[in-house]
Chain A
């Protein structure tokens, strides 16, 4: 018992203080997710994978008592993280919470898989965390539109290519996000996240300039 306590303490001590910019701080993990969302950055994802896969493996093993099923859970969870990183909202919780809830959903469905039929209730019905929100971007960004128009034309050239393209089509060509999604052949959610990231970056450029 005493030894266990010591181990606990050691582990806590060797961990970097939780809120600084250590490699496993929520801020750092969130920035990796943002890079995956914006540029499908494989290096950023590999770092996320190195951090989360062993934790998901431990969670899965505890839940299922079976390493192979646990590995399947790791694979399915992280596949969703790779494709759906744009759905992570830093203001709604930490990356660990988001990824834990994805794993919780997958576990919920795994437990019912043997009797799963197409119309059965799935975890997505209860916790639609991987659904594209029907948020209207117009509401979010309408305020910015007039103010930003001028600055956008000034700065948007400096954006990464994939963000610049989306901004060009929406703000300069006046296309809807759905039209951009259709014409570029990328998911609507990706269009939304690229717009969001691009506007964030533009705001930073504008603020820094002033």
Chain B
């Protein structure tokens, strides 16, 4: 049962195509996992389409004719097929099934690297210059307490992690802003998450300042 969903505002921005590529991937992946939000996105699309149908802007009839001719003479656009065969990633002897949107980005997932604290990270390169990573937290691992200069969006793909304010499981979507402070950790279960950061993390606790390599969890 998913407890944490993107806000209606974020779903709205997603549905009209106003979110950044990375945040769009996170929200689309949540929507793959969450029938509640999938339905809401459909409703928003429907409402937007009604709004779209209400306003027309005249096009000259000769221009209309030219456009039609060009369309009839056009070649069929490239043929796209949804490939749903390979949606498994393996790490540390474990296999994870990726939701559809993320599975389509599989070629963009870079190599895994180990980060201190029983953590692993693999960049997801969308070509948008954004900082998106798959983060794998093994059992009993923790990320030092930190705040963010910008927003951090996290989606649990599989497993469970905790922070001061709660427990997050498969499909949960968490958006933290610069005021939020948290220290994610796992206990008896491991956890695979997808995370987007739009500004470097800023570690707050004393010891963590010495552990600046931690920011390599997200940045390189």
Contacts and interface: CB of A to CB of B under 8 A. Distances in A.
B50 A96 contact: yes
A121 B124 CA distance: 11
Interface residues of B, number: 45
Given A53-B64, A104-B17, A120-B128, A133 B79 contact: no
Interface secondary structure of A, over-half rule: helix
Interface in A144-182: none
A193 interface: no
B27 to A, nearest CB: 9
B67 A53 contact: yes
Interface string A79-110: 11011100000000110110111011101100
A27 to B, nearest CB: 14
B42 A120 contact: no
A101 B64 contact: no
B82 interface: yes
B126 A93 contact: no
Contacts of A83: 74, 76-77
A131 B104 CA distance: 12
B56 A58 contact: yes
Nearest to A99: B49
A4 interface: no
A79 B76 CA distance: 8
B101 A101 contact: no
B90 interface: no
A139 interface: no
Nearest to A58: B57
Contact of B56 (A46, A54, A75): A54
Nearest to A11: B54
B127 interface: yes
- The bracket for how many chain A residues form the interface is 35 or more
A121 B77 contact: no
A131 B81 contact: yes
Contacts of B57: 54-55, 57-58, 61, 70
B80 A128 contact: yes
Contact of B17 (A62, A107, A128): A107
Given A42-B72, A101-B45, A121-B127, A126 B24 contact: yes
Contacts of B76: 83, 187
B81 A93 contact: no
B119 interface: no
Contact of A132 (B24, B28, B80): B80
Interface of B: 15-17, 21, 24-25, 28, 42, 45-46, 48-50, 52-59, 63-64, 67-68, 70-72, 74, 76-77, 79-84, 101, 104-105, 108, 125-128
